[in-house]
Amino acid sequence: LQKSLSETFGADKYSRARKEVLTYMFSRPMQMALYFCTGVLEDETLFHHYALNVPFYTHFTSPIRRYADIVVHRLLSASLSARSPIKMEKEAIQKQADHCNDRKMASKRVQELSADLFFSVFVRVRP
């Protein structure tokens, strides 16, 4: 998909704008990744990563970026015996995951609305 999109962008002064618009339009309907506590889910097929085609997957980045990443780092450290176990029930961890998902979806929605607003202003001021 990325290769075919790249071929359609062209090389004129609007190619970068076309690339951004098309990439946004194609990625917008993709399902967003969700945080969840594995101890709450019984169906291990839900741990599958579609794009990478791996059966078990966890994602995290630097713990300075997001609270969810801090939780994942702490749980991973505890599972490797690098720190003491986390004193949280799996339901409490899932509640935190649900909260992180809600905030992430709200942030994404605000980002989309902001892009829509910018586009409408751009169209209005352009002849």
Q: Is the pLDDT of residue 5 over 70?
A: no
Handedness of CA 11, 14, 20, 25 (dihedral sign): negative
What rounded mean pLDDT belongs to the chain? 82
Q: Is the pLDDT of residue 92 over 90?
A: yes
Q: Is the pLDDT of residue 126 over 70?
A: yes
Entry field: residues in the chain:
127
Do 115 and 24 form a contact (C-beta atoms < 8 A)? Answer: yes
Q: Is the pLDDT of residue 127 over 70?
A: no
Name residue 49's beta-bridge partners: 54
Confirm whether pTM is higher than 0.85: no
pLDDT value at residue 29? 66
Task: Tell me the residue type at 120.
Answer: S
Do 68 and 35 form a contact (C-beta atoms < 8 A)? Answer: yes
Q: What is the pLDDT of residues 74-88, one digit of tens each?
A: 888 998 999 888 888
pLDDT value at residue 72? 85
d(CA 95, CA 81): 24
